Structure 1
Amino acid sequence: MRDRKKKDDNLLSMTSRRDNFFVRFIKAGRRKLTVMFIPHSEEKVVNIQISLFTLVFSGVFVLALLGAFFWFSTHYTGNRQQLMASRSNLRNSEASLEVVREEIDSLMKVAGSFNETLSKTLTSLGIDSSANESLARSQGDLSDFVNMIETDSNSNNEVGDLKKLRMSLDNSIEPLNEITDVLLSQKALLTDIPTLWPLKGVRGRVTNPYGPAIHPFTGEWYLHKGLDLGYGMGQPIVATANGKVTLVDYEKNGFGHYMVIQHKYGFDTKYAHMQNIYVKEGQEVKQGDVIGTMGNSGLSDGPHLHYEVRIGSQVLDPAKFINMTDNAYEVIKWTIEEYK
């Protein structure tokens, strides 16, 4: 019983002390403080009474207000710096975009020139160029459509130009493939007819062109049925077209060592006054194969190659066929003028 009573007394004592503390705290907080404002004139003194609680609350409020001000000020400064950086990046992006626009514009001009050249090429090769013309019309329609849907963003113009360029490239693939097929077929044709210069790696000199000429030994006029090309003993001679060797022979008072190759489409070529012949009758040769060397055999007044082109029994001017593949004909023309 005594212990229980003692505990109750202690509990009451603690409650009493706690109550006394709060009472003293409240009383202290309610104490009035007088704040005096004394003007320089000292005519009238302003007294303001304020409790300690109010003063503490006001101080906390002012400190909170100052903290909020500094926080917002710092945050605003950071945002302003970010905004300035964003504006700078935007200006740089606009400058880069302008460069891109100029490049796209130049690219579109080049594409237009390409399409125009492609159309002319198709026409010259006899290929229908209506696909390219429809492409140009579709590009115009697309441009009108892009202008109709244009918004505040100028990117639609660039996107439209890139779409037109893509369409141009896509539609150019088929015509280019057709051109490739034509060129390949022509290349195959040009390897089957005598269009190659007969001297390997050199032009040489036309010492006697095709046509009427004075015979170097008899001094009489006669029809020179080929080209005489001079360079030097041992100069490699090549087949001017794909074909088959039909004749290898020797004439002491004529062509000397000579040979004949038969080609497609009724063509035959003759190579005469040779020093050496590297092929045999019945042998297949390709255009550009070395078939022998230049010499001075037979009835000849110096090292040269006598080269003829025939269709059946008809003798033709070899220069007309050589002109199909390179500028050798210009050399022949210049030499003929000099020869005359």
Structure 2
Amino acid sequence: MSPAHQYKRLENEVVNGLQKWLRQRWQSLAAFCKRVYQKGRQRFTVMFIPHSEKRIFNFQISVFTLIFVISLMGLVLAGFIVLATHFTGTNERYVRIARNLNASETSLESFKDEIIELRKVAKDFKARMEEVLSVVGTEDAANYLEKGVGGELTTLVSLEELDEGNLRDLSELRSLRSYLDNSVAPLSEIHKLLQAQRALLVDIPSLWPLKGARGNITNDFGFSRNPFTGGAYVHKGIDIAWGYGTPIVATANGKVLRTGEDSLGLGRFVVLRHDYGFHTRYGHLDRWVVQLGQEVRRGQVIGYMGNSGLSTGPHLHYEVGIGTNVVDPKQFLSIRSPLIESK
């Protein structure tokens, strides 16, 4: 027999064997399904027998129906369990959210209270700082503060920003409030110290005696030559020449000690007495505009430059004395301080 016939024969045997196996499996499956169907069609009788003489109630139910009912009840029970579990989890989440919201509201109220206190302290701090800057002589102290980093202190934190979530850490706010609060007292002490220093400086004759003009110093303090006799003498002050009628001001706070006229000396003059043993003399005036015993303030006009007395032209003779001694006025006129320069 040729190989082709052998191969054909083998192929037929394999196909027949496979068909036979499939028929057997199909027959087995059909028999199984038939048995299941027959079992499922079997009926059970359920009877309800009352203890009274009432009629007995009964009904029949197939295995298929029973399985369906049990499966349906199982699915319903499983659905209830799933829903109950989901509801429990959701309820717990809602409880956590509500708890977090309550905590956030409490924290928000704490922030608002802390910020209100911070703004109060910042306002007090700013007021103290303005007092210090005003004594130092900074022009427009409020604007000076607002030019600092962050702007005005009282608007450091806006309450409206709280609802936008732009909150700073509460501990940082408390720390800042404590820092500002602790800074108020030292600033007040600095303000008192500066005020005391200013009170001292305004009583020392350090202001230039000509108002609105610098003038020219034509004769210094000390040994000099008399322009009329040519002899040497001790010049007790300095001579400042400028235009006739230039306003002359008090160089420190004081009181008018003397006014008068010496035709052979200083001409019309004014003498002021100051604290700490100082006195100042203003000579060769055209006229004075103060009265004996009058209180005068630093920078107040007391007279006008003239050419009275022994004078070679319009000028001011200015003297500074301490006790019974006269000193060089220029050592006090060189005093400069922002505490008094802007006043």
Q: TM class by shorter-chain length?
A: 0.3 to 0.5
Q: Structure 1 length normalisation: TM-score?
A: 0.46
State the structure with more CA Rg.
Answer: 2
